[in-house]
Amino acid sequence: MKNATRSTIVVSFIIIGISAILFSDALAQRSSRSRGRGRSESQLEKPPVPIDDNEKKILSILDDIRATQSYRNVPPQDGRFLRITAQGMNAKNVVEIGTSTGYSGIWFGMALQKTGGRLTTYEIDAQRAATARANFKRAGMADIITLVEGDAHEQVKKLKDPIDILFLDADKEGYIDYLNKLLPLVRPGGLVIAHNINASMADPEYMKAITTNPKLETIVRSGVSLTLKK
């Protein structure tokens, strides 16, 4: 083999070797970045750190409800989302359909204690309503939370005041009726938040209503729809 040909072969091998090293390095960096993205959601979030004794007491009541009185309550991360949203937008009037034992109501209550706002929450089951009332009382929120016992489809007709946040977490097939009855009361800039919005539970009629109306902007994340009234 001529010297020139041998040199060409050696140079080609060096180029291929360097390219392979650079390519595998780029792949490694990319995969470590994507691993980092995964970690950001599951590991970067930490439990709430109470600001004072009142918040500490409320957080322990929330833990107790989950441990001993749980009935289809939202998970803690959704409760925290509701609190942050309500406090962040300085909500004064929150309406919740589906109280259960009062778990999500107390997350809202934490926000409303700071904003000077009120929650009206609806529950059809007498036993869960009684449990929720007792929980609101022990959380020191009896004065800012009104629990209406009965069928919310009928009871909400009595509402008149502008709503900052409407939270739907009761009979899924009823969401469209709640929306039709209460959207006119949701103020511009107000939110409609609905729970259990996933492929198996979301009512197509409700989804159509919140995703095709030009006056609304809706996103869905982790089973929760967030709708802004523009």
Ligand X SMILES: C[S@@+](CC[C@H](N)C(=O)[O-])C[C@H]1O[C@@H](n2cnc3c(N)ncnc32)[C@H](O)[C@@H]1O
Integer CA distances (angstroms), 144 to 96, 110, 115, 119, 121, in order: 13, 10, 11, 6, 11
Integer CA distances (angstroms), 23 to 10, 17, 27, 122, in order: 20, 10, 6, 59
Q: Number of C-alpha atoms within 13 angstroms, CB side, residue 47?
A: 7
Alpha helices (runs of H) in 43-143, residue ranges in sequence order: 53-68, 76-88, 103-115, 126-138
Considering beta carbons, is residue 100 or 225 the nearer one to ligand X? 100
Considering beta carbons, is residue 122 or 206 the nearer one to ligand X? 122
Among 124, 139, 141, 186, binds ligand X (CB under 6 A): 124
Question: Nearest distance from residue 97's CB to ligand X, in Å?
Answer: 6
The answer to whether 191 touches 94, Cβ cutoff 8 Å, is no
Region binding ligand X by CB under 6 A among candidate stretches 39-47, 53-61, 111-119, 120-128? 120-128
Among 81, 85, 98, 135, binds ligand X (CB under 6 A): 98
The 27-66 contact track toward ligand X, x by CB under 6 A, reads ----------------------------------------
Question: Nearest distance from residue 109's CB to ligand X, in Å?
Answer: 12
Residue 21's contacts (CB-CB under 8 Å, 6 or more residues apart) are none
Residue among 174, 163, 119, 139 at smallest CA distance from 60 = 139
The answer to whether 71 touches 129, Cβ cutoff 8 Å, is no
Question: Nearest distance from residue 165's CB to ligand X, in Å?
Answer: 13
Question: Nearest distance from residue 47's CB to ligand X, in Å?
Answer: 18
Residues numbered 170-199 forming contacts with ligand X, rule: CB under 6 A? 170-171, 174
Considering beta carbons, is residue 63 or 151 the nearer one to ligand X? 151
| Paired strand residues for 145 | 119
Among 151, 161, 173, 217, binds ligand X (CB under 6 A): 151
Question: Nearest distance from residue 31's CB to ligand X, in Å?
Answer: 38
Residue ranges in contact with ligand X by CB under 6 A = 71-74, 98-100, 103-104, 122-125, 128, 151-153, 169-171, 174
